[in-house]
Structure 1
Amino acid sequence: MPIVTRRRILALLTGAAAAIGVPSIWMSLMKTYDGPTSDHFDGLRFFDPDGVPPKSLAEVLRWQYGGERHRAKWPEWAPSPHSDIPPPRVNGAGVRLSFVGHASWLVQTGGLNILVDPVWSMRASPFSFAGPKRHNDPGIAFEKLPGIDAVLVSHGHYDHLDLATLSKLAATCAPRVITPLGNDVTMRDADAAIRAEAFDWHHRVELGNGIAVTLVPTRHWSARGLFDRNKTLWASFVLETPAGKLYIVCDSGYGDGRHFRRVADAHGPLRLAILPIGAYEPRWFMRDQHMNPEDAVKALADCGAAQALAHHHGTFQLTDEAIDAPAIALGEALDAANVPREKFATLKPGQVFEI
């Protein structure tokens, strides 16, 4: 097979893997979680009792090659006009949130610096030559980061769990890394210096200075290799801060909204929700695992947060919609629901939101 064709196939499969975790042939012998059974772990694989199984390889191929695909062309480079240089610490009752890009955030509050799903790599992929690549720089240059105390990693897909970035953080400031069950094995197998701590759904973890995080169920799944589908867990986070609780949803489908309503019941009132709005086309393929902007507006209503910030868009082209489609559709969905647009803000990398 010509090398161009091989690279094209790798790029397509790697892109699908980053978007929805399609198992891939190059990571077939990964170590995975081994633990007791539960209401969402059968002894071999995790599952969402209220969700649906991930798409099959046949459905992936239908999406990629079925002749019905309409993939928007993104600009080769779409730089943000913003670049943040965070302060060393934020003390007192405030929260400072800096959007790094895609699903990556820096949260500064209560004297702690917390990163969410940090990805500074050029590609969301195991390869340097294939897979989704960045269309803009991170909103904070890595060397401008303050000392990081803790990192929250939601699940194992390549656009959320970036081993190169975690290894670099381990070498520079050695933060705690809080992650759902099994992802700690992936991290430590790559670099023993990564201080990974794995927890189950509903586990509350004290981070210090009165700040804590609880892992909560979310409608998604996980895979990095051929034989590890759903062998690691996925989660969203409820972060307790001096300014109130932040609900951080890094990746999720909407379903019937019960995941969001349950968080409201168990953890409300919520001061802020960070909700994904991108990687949603085509809907027949993506709706069970990724929300579109209309879904995200429903999720905001369900969780009852006073304010929302949008993410998971505009940096890596994982699916078929245009680079600006999520932001445009979000505004339309807010108008249709009679929700003020300022209640659900869309930032560019490098922009800051403060509570």
Structure 2
Amino acid sequence: MPTTRRRIFGLPAGAAAVIAVPSVWMTRMKTHDGPISDHFDGLRFFDPHGAPPKKLAEVLRWQFGGERKRVNWPDWVPSPYADTPPPRVEGDKVRLSFVGHVSWLIQTAGLNILVDPVWSMRASPFSWAGPKRRNDPGIAFEALPEIDVVLVSHGHYDHLDVATLSKLAAKFSPRVVTPLGNDVAMREADRAIKAEAFDWQDRVELGSGLAVTLVPTRHWSARGLLDRNKALWASFVLETPVGKLYIVCDSGYGDGGHFRRVADAHGPLRLAILPIGAYEPRWFMRDQHMNPADAVKALADCGAAQALAHHHGTFQLTDEAIDAPAIALGEALDQAEVPRDKFAVLKPGQVFEF
């Protein structure tokens, strides 16, 4: 593979999509057909409290500029853990199994919920290039229990994996809850995917007393050259029998306002799942991805009693070392005088229960 192409596909999944050149991936995604709002101008979505995605010139400066300092990850870093989940978890209990990157299996109240499921080997529009897994999913696909609901936060390839969604549709036919516009990409890929699209602040009943609310997050979305922000992005507040879980799949920190607004509207929060990886270089990533110090501030802002880390250690999307997020998180917690066990870092296949 030519060096130029290899470096292009070293981009984060979303950024790689912006400059991927084959015409088939220039996008066939339709514009969301809905009313103008405080975060939709009739063509594209935007965050009134956020920042627009980086321009192509800035992408190229990062990839090819002389100041780049990229630490290469090992080819394969297996997790020592592998989970075989129970068929169901009933009653006042929540079981969270970390699949890897941003993928989780959440079991509670007799329902099985997947978050941003990616079982593919690459977070990419291509099967032969793009960010490649460095460890197996923490749950083998064949070991999954029956899946009732899937939450998909936005359209970047490390979050919306149509190959995995198609396999889930064929095996389980779950509901797929996603922000506006992402349902179009799913149905164009496979009409069997039961996608339901919702706006920020929509509350969706899931059954068994569970519900999820889509809340604003500081990010953006694209799957091709011409569809920047034509689909919405979101975080989730999941209501469970033991309290609310705040699931932040991708977000910059900004001034922390998104996290404080969630605390005001949905607190108290029992648990926050917060991203800690894909943050270097800061001049490029600050507006879209938190670093570990930002994540510690976000935990304080949202007021959750406990946090779990994700968005690290599986796909190399940016320039930091594979173990840098976990190390930096420990240092940031110590500096903030927060006990390290309040913000846990799991490996794929590890389980957290409460």
What is the TM-score normalised by the length of structure 2? 0.97
Structure 1 residue identity aligned to 2:284: F
Structure 1 residue 29: Cα displacement:
3.1
2:284 matched to which residue of 1?
285
> CA contact under 8 A between 1:20 and 1:289: conserved in structure 2?
no
- Aligned equivalents of 2:12 and 2:342: distance in 1? 33
- Aligned equivalents of 2:283 and 2:292: distance in 1? 15
2:13 matched to which residue of 1?
18
Identity of matched residues, %: 79
Structure 1 residue 73: Cα displacement:
1.4
SS at match of 1:48: coil
* Structure 1 segment 246-265 matched on structure 2, within 5 A: 246-265=245-264
Structure 1 residue 254: Cα displacement:
0.1
1:31 aligns with 2:29: yes
* Structure 1 segment 195-274 matched on structure 2, within 5 A: 195-274=194-273
Show CA shifts across 1:273-305 (max 9, x none). Answer: 000000000000000000000000000000000
Show CA shifts across 1:126-183 (max 9, x none). Answer: 1111100000000000000000000000000000000000000000000000000000
Structure 1 residue 15: Cα displacement:
3.5
Structure 2 residue identity aligned to 1:325: A
C-alpha spacing 1:162/1:48, structure 2 compared with 1 (3 Å): same
> CA contact under 8 A between 2:8 and 2:16: conserved in structure 1?
no
* Structure 1 segment 96-115 matched on structure 2, within 5 A: 96-115=95-114
> CA contact under 8 A between 1:84 and 1:352: conserved in structure 2?
yes
1:177 matched to which residue of 2?
176
Structure 1 segments unaligned to the other structure (5+ residues): none
Structure 2 segments unaligned to the other structure (5+ residues): none
1:131 matched to which residue of 2?
130
C-alpha spacing 1:90/1:121, structure 2 compared with 1 (3 Å): same
SS at match of 1:253: coil
> CA contact under 8 A between 1:21 and 1:157: conserved in structure 2?
no
> CA contact under 8 A between 2:212 and 2:239: conserved in structure 1?
yes
Structure 1 residue 31: Cα displacement:
1.8
Structure 1 residue identity aligned to 2:9: T
- Aligned equivalents of 2:134 and 2:270: distance in 1? 31
C-alpha spacing 1:314/1:48, structure 2 compared with 1 (3 Å): same
Structure 2 residue identity aligned to 1:318: L
> CA contact under 8 A between 1:21 and 1:221: conserved in structure 2?
no
What is the TM-score normalised by the length of structure 1? 0.97
Q: Give runs of ≥4 in structure 1 deviating > 6 Å.
A: none
Alignment length (residue pairs): 350
1:350 matched to which residue of 2?
349
1:326 aligns with 2:321: no
